Amino acid sequence: MKITQTEAQMFEDSVDGWVLDAIAYGVTTFEQLVTSLPGVYPSIALSSLRRLASVQRIPTEVMEELVKPAKSQSESPTRLYHQISLPVPHPLDYDWRFSDAAIETLLNECKELTRCNSTIALIGTPSLLRMGIEQSYPRQLVLLEASSTITASLTQAVPKAQVVRCDVIKEPLPKLLAEVVVLDPPWYPEHIQSFLWTACQLCKIGGYVLISMPPFGTRPGIEREWMNTLDWAQKIGLTLIRLDKMALPYVTPLFELNVLKAEGLHTVPREWRRGNLAVFSRSHQTEVPRPAALPQEDEWIEEVLLGVRLRIRQPNLSGFVDPSLIAVVPGDVLQSVSRRDSRRRLADVWTSGNRIFACQGRGVLQLILRAVAMGRLPYEAVALALKRPLSTKETELVSHATNQIINLVSTEQKENLVFGEQRNNTNLSLAAG
């Protein structure tokens, strides 16, 4: 959806108004400010403070006092403890996960809407399945998840869990009829429409659809997007029951924390982002065709080293090409989580910490990653794949790329340990539902 200049200006004016109201109500820190706003991105809130100070709508000392703690280098990591650990989110998956408080809200809502042993379908919400298993939730939970890394992790941890690897936007759907379907789509109109259409295929008539929606401070044009969503929902047989604003807090993933730190924001609350909870009933049957599949994105192959997820764009091996990582943005962290950022096309390698690199020899790099993961010598793995010995120069390039990977993984592994989930070593013998 194209944003008009009028919408952009109206959005800026709205942000300024929300910031002024928050200051009038007595917020004294940047953390309080961001939490009080309706989903405004922290760097946009910071820009608003500076803009308001520049036109003397707030005193400069008020702006400086609010900004000072946000720029502080001190970090107070929030560690989450669960019996079942999930892979660290990757930015290419649009993977923001609900906080425990949001999960409790959704599971309680599902319990209120259903009877014992009812089936609840979860789309793109692995953290709900995890907590349901950990709490012996009295409903049958079935997860549909596009990421094979996440589905494999859950299946390995809890073999009896009902987990289906499925990209609900384009792949065939499982035969399933649920009393409630819970959705957490990427916050873009085409994703939201596809997820809602899928929910209608999986939900009984008279059942319910719970979906997390972007609050009005997320970006310009959100109010128009919401009205379009309501029109689409009615068209496919859904009736809005209620909208609970800012009801679903998210835990900021590592890749977004790195973006914020790269922007100079070090003390943003981990749960500043909150979604609106929209509750629909599936009121009637319709014959609306499935939305057209989204434009095909480049294929990415994933490798995992010590919990760090690395994606390689379309790796192929037609011969030896330099596998070195090439810097494309200052500090290597892409300072954006938006799919609209034009710098995304520069990335040939993309980490779960939102670090991006160009790479000419992506096929060779993939061999190196797999060799490191298996504890093999990378130059031997490359030589074996090429069916010939490597030259001295090629061996040096493989060694250089290997050292780059080891340093990169070491950096992000430490970040995962500080800001990621901490596994409770309690043994599990639980089944889903």
d(CA 277, CA 111): 16
Residue 37 and residue 46: Cα distance in Å, rounded? 12
Give mean pLDDT, residues 180-195.
Answer: 96
Nearest to 210 by CA among 234, 242, 188: 242
User: Does a structural domain hold residue 433?
Assistant: no
Q: What range does the domain containing 113 cover? A: 83-293
Confidence tier at 11 by pLDDT (50, 70, 90):
very high
Distance from C-alpha of 19 to C-alpha of 63, rounded to nearest angstrom: 11
Between these two residues, 338 and 274, which has the higher pLDDT value?
Answer: 274
pLDDT at 133: 96
The pLDDT value given to residue 280: 98
**Using an 8 Å Cβ cutoff, are 303 and 68 in contact?**
no
Mean pLDDT of all residues in 294-314: 89
Number of domains comprising the chain: 3
The chain-wide mean pLDDT, for the chain, equals 92
Predicted local confidence at residue 80, as pLDDT: 63
CATH number for the domain harbouring residue 200: 3.40.50.150
Tokens describing residue 367? 């061999």
Query: 278 and 304 share a domain?
Result: no
Residue 100 belongs to a domain: yes
Residue that is last in its domain, among 70, 96, 116:
70
pLDDT more than 90, % of the chain: 82
pLDDT at 340: 82
Q: In the structure, what pLDDT confidence band is assigned to residue 73 with cuts at 50, 70 and 90?
A: low
In a domain, 77, yes or no: no
Asked if residue 184 and residue 211 are part of one domain, the reply reads yes
Query: pLDDT category, 71, cuts 50, 70, 90?
Result: low
pLDDT band at 298 (very low <50, low <70, confident <90, very high): confident
Supply the pLDDT for residue 425: 38
- pLDDT value for 316: 85
Q: Is the pLDDT of residue 431 over 90?
A: no
Mean pLDDT over 201-224 rounds to: 96
Q: What is the mean pLDDT of residues 121-136?
A: 96
> Where on the phi/psi map is residue 217: left (φ > 0), alpha (ψ -120 to 50), or beta?
alpha
Mean pLDDT, residues 58-79: 74
End position of a domain, from candidates 293, 311, 337 = 293
- Predicted pLDDT of residue 67: 84
- pLDDT for res 15: 97
**Averaged pLDDT for residues 352-381:** 96
pTM of the model: 0.90
Same domain for 311 and 192, yes or no, is no
Residue 184 predicted with pLDDT over 50: yes
Residue 422 has pLDDT above 60, yes or no: no
How far is residue 161's CA from residue 158's CA, in Å, rounded to a whole number?
5
**Mean pLDDT value across residues 157-164:** 94
pLDDT of residue 421: 62
Helix, strand, coil share of the chain (percent; to 5)? 40, 20, 40
pLDDT at 430 over 60: no
pLDDT in tens, 237-273: 999 999 999 999 999 999 999 999 998 898 889 999 9
Asked if 146 and 253 sit in the same domain, the reply is yes
Domain identity same for 270 and 253: yes
The one-letter amino acid at 405: I
Tell me which residue of 222, 159, 154, 210 sits closest to 185, measured CA to CA: 210
Same domain, 118 and 198: yes
